[in-house]
Structure 1
Amino acid sequence: MHSKIAPARAAALIAGVIGTLAAPGGALASGFLLPEASTAGIGTANAMVANPIELGAIPYNAAAMGFHDNSSLALGALMIAPSFSVNTASGNHSGTGATWVAGPMFQAAIKLNQNWRLGLGVTTPFGLETRWGYGTFPALSQSATIPLPPPLGLTTIPTGNHPATTKLEVLDFAPTGAYRVNDNLSLAAGMDIYWAKSAQLDSNLGQMSGDGIGLGFNLGAMYRIQALTLGLTYHSASTVRLGGNFTPLNTTLVMMGQLAQGQPASLNLDLPWRLQVGARYEFTKTFAAEFDWTYTGWSQFRQLVVSGDRTGGIISTETNNWNDASAFRLGLTWQVRPTTQLRCGYAYDQTGQGNGYFSARVPDSDRQTFSIGIAQGLSHGFSIEAGYMYVMGQKRNYAGGVPYSATSGVNGTTALNGQYEMSAHIVGIEALVTF
């Protein structure tokens, strides 16, 4: 730091750069949640928490392992093509990052004996990527000419904190165990080991990148009686501590002592808890339907606390104040042949983000999901599955109630006024084997 006012200016800058972390560039449920955990889930709009039949239900509810008589392995990939845009006073702008974003899907379930199963899953439950070009938000693209001591003279500096690239990918390594109590009931418990393998948070003033680890736990139960199966699963909240480096982009402000120098920086990212309850009914031996309700604890995502090594301890606290939100999912499966299954589904996700702290890094809205899928059994216990999902976000016309000023935060202000739209295509491919 070059002057006594630097910590305050640095706090405002880093808070703006990091902003509200939960941008949904790759996220396909409310907030930055990615519920897609298997190809079977993609094909049924993620209505899988009460399915005792499909191997693809295990990543959604580990208690499903208790109803499978064999060990199994599943390996696949999730591919997402998101589209984000906003119409502001400066025109229509695209906020899309990479054309396609890929994530892993892996699940192992090992039968130890008649009652016990062990599992290990790897999924990407949280993710995002958005990129807004400079000038998208006119109020954040302005500059001012100020006098500096000789020989510098008049200098033009930015007065807004324009969001640029936001990217986050969180992997979940989930070791689990399931115990089949009897023919009707299976219980499960495990850990969620979150690894934020990449985090990038940029604005026109500065950049931050880093990674981090967080821990949580999960519980599951599944009860089956004749044609009806009930399922329940819970994932605890978790905090991922992101550590990395902050790099200022405006050297003039650094020289003036109004901007933090490059330094190690960190923040705590609070991931929400998730409660899922589902009911599945087999109308015939070949046709079944499942309805799930998911409640996500976005109220955990209230603040981002930023720390910098050179500024000494906590330098900024930003409030988000999200609300808990529900999602409703319906999935259908039809066994058209002994080795061929068709799937389809529909889901409605409510956003947890209100207008009070709206962020361009999080142009979130209520969303509808439509999905189809197919599974084909092969020989020697092998099968292959594919699924497709289309996510359609509701248009969000945002008009901030708080005037923007260069000395205040950006979220929830008139600087972000505009009409936001989103959609996404999702494809999943997976190979499975039982043994």
Structure 2
Amino acid sequence: MKNIILLLILSSSLFAGGYKIPETSLNSVALGAATVAHASGADAAYYNPANMVFMKNEAVMEANLIYIGLSDVNYKSDTADIDSKKENFFVPSLHYVSGDVNGARFGLSIVSPAGLSKRWEDAPAIYSAEEFTLKTVEINPTVALAIGDKVAVALGLRAIYSDGVVKSTSPIASRDMSGDSIDFGYNLALSYKPTAELDLALTYRSKVDLSIEGDAALFYRDMTNAFGGGAGAAYSSTSSASVSAPVPALLNVAVAYTLPSDTTLEFVYERNFWHSYGELDFNYGGGVNAVTNIVFGAPIAKNWKDTDAFRFGVTQKLDKLTLMGGLVIDESPVPNSTMGFELPDSDSVSVSFGTKYQINESLNIGLAALYSMREDRAVSNSSLNGEFSNSNVLIISSAIEYKF
């Protein structure tokens, strides 16, 4: 259960608006995930599996290790000036595209599509978000087929495993939750290559409803009827717990054009359907006291909005060297009215660059980096009246690509 909350709320503080992680490969880090229409490496299995049909008839695999560094976010108000903990993570990923198999191409990606962590040590942040930690693994097999010489389609299955922790502590209440889940969705892709230089693509990843189940330890001290400085009635509960929330649907429309200089320019319009995240509703087992259940079981309004992201990438192929760069403009789906310490999200601009070197016909190595600069955000709602700042992110990717 903590998993779900963690996933839903925490991961968005990392890379993109909401709680998704778009960068799961060397090319995606180097190009700011503008690797859809012209995807031509092993990571095409994830970003545009339809393009597998147009790749050279050979198997290709990429093993990738991504470092993610989160700055210590500052929150300042009239009564507080606190910082979250700095976070450092190493996230592996794997992408594979098969050779031709009776006219079809098969792909497999193993990635972390969302998560990471946000931890606070000081009040008032610990009252609601002492820790939000999420780990996710997505296994995404895909298959692609050609329709004539210029069109290809693909279908994939999304299987997402999530595991996480949610903790909060206040003078009168605390919550310590953990849980996990396996949930499923699908993805579709369409590629059209009207000329050798022009690539057009449309991809869609379905919504996945996370149905987390786990355990929760809850404590609440009811001060309603406390008199003369009394401590009030205390309730401690341990029970099963469950919660459901969506990983929203995602639509990409992309176009890429390759110039005679072997320079490829790509633009991706991304639509994230965050409106499906209307509320976060926790459910507990019979062991939870009725008063405690009212405190912790009431649905939490989110009311997130659909958002747009604009991704620009440029790739320059030389002899054995490939140079890449990217720019991302991304919106936050979190409205002012429901923003909290668990996800101090804001609009962002990201810049990226990377390089790949061909050692021989079978082996490539690469290195890439992305830096996301998030806007300072003033928040005034029923629980917060202050400003978040310094919520920037650094991503570094190293990869080995092998063709066989």
**TM-score after normalising by structure 1:** 0.82
Identity %: 22
Match of 1:211 in 2: 180
Contact 1:360 1:416 in 2 (8 A): no
Counterpart amino acid of residue 241 in structure 1? S
Match of 2:136 in 1: 170
Q: Distance in 2 between matches of 1:213 and 1:22?
A: 18
CA shift for structure 1 position 52: 4.3
* Matching residue within 292, 310, 326 for 2:308: 326
CA deviations on 1:95-123 (whole Å, 9 max, x unpaired) are 2353x112221111112436201111111
Change in Cα spacing, 1:300 to 1:125, as seen in structure 2 (3 Å) is same
Contact 1:291 1:331 in 2 (8 A): yes
Change in Cα spacing, 1:21 to 1:226, as seen in structure 2 (3 Å) is closer
Change in Cα spacing, 1:379 to 1:190, as seen in structure 2 (3 Å) is same
CA shift for structure 1 position 18: 5.5
CA shift for structure 1 position 21: 4.2
Counterpart amino acid of residue 421 in structure 1? N
SS of alignment partner, residue 384 of structure 2: helix
Match of 1:118 in 2: 106
- Alignment of structure 1 residues 5-404 onto 2, 5 Å: 21-24=8-11, 27-68=14-55, 69-83=57-71, 84-98=73-87, 100-113=88-101, 115-137=103-125, 161-196=127-162, 198-204=163-169, 205-224=174-193, 225-248=195-218, 259-310=235-286, 315-337=297-319, 339-400=320-381
Say yes or no: does 1:419 pair with 2:388: yes
CA shift for structure 1 position 323: 0.3
Q: Distance in 2 between matches of 1:55 and 1:23?
A: 29
CA deviations on 1:138-158 (whole Å, 9 max, x unpaired) are xxx8xxxxxxxxxxxxxxxxx
Match of 1:409 in 2: none
Q: Where do 5+ consecutive residues of structure 1 fail to align? A: 1-13, 142-160, 401-412
Count of aligned pairs between the two proteins: 383
Match of 1:149 in 2: none
Q: Distance in 2 between matches of 1:18 and 1:54?
A: 34
Counterpart amino acid of residue 363 in structure 2? F
Alpha-carbon RMSD across the aligned residues, in angstroms, is 2.5
CA deviations on 1:4-37 (whole Å, 9 max, x unpaired) are xxxxxxxxxx99x969941247620001110002
CA shift for structure 1 position 219: 0.1
Counterpart amino acid of residue 335 in structure 1? K
Contact 1:170 1:194 in 2 (8 A): yes
Counterpart amino acid of residue 334 in structure 1? Q
Q: Where do 5+ consecutive residues of structure 2 fail to align? A: 224-230
SS of alignment partner, residue 40 of structure 1: helix
SS of alignment partner, residue 58 of structure 1: helix
CA shift for structure 1 position 124: 1.1
**TM-score after normalising by structure 2:** 0.88
Change in Cα spacing, 1:380 to 1:283, as seen in structure 2 (3 Å) is closer
Change in Cα spacing, 1:429 to 1:32, as seen in structure 2 (3 Å) is same
CA shift for structure 1 position 38: 0.9
Contact 2:6 2:133 in 1 (8 A): no
Counterpart amino acid of residue 365 in structure 1? S
Q: Distance in 1 between matches of 2:21 and 2:221?
A: 38
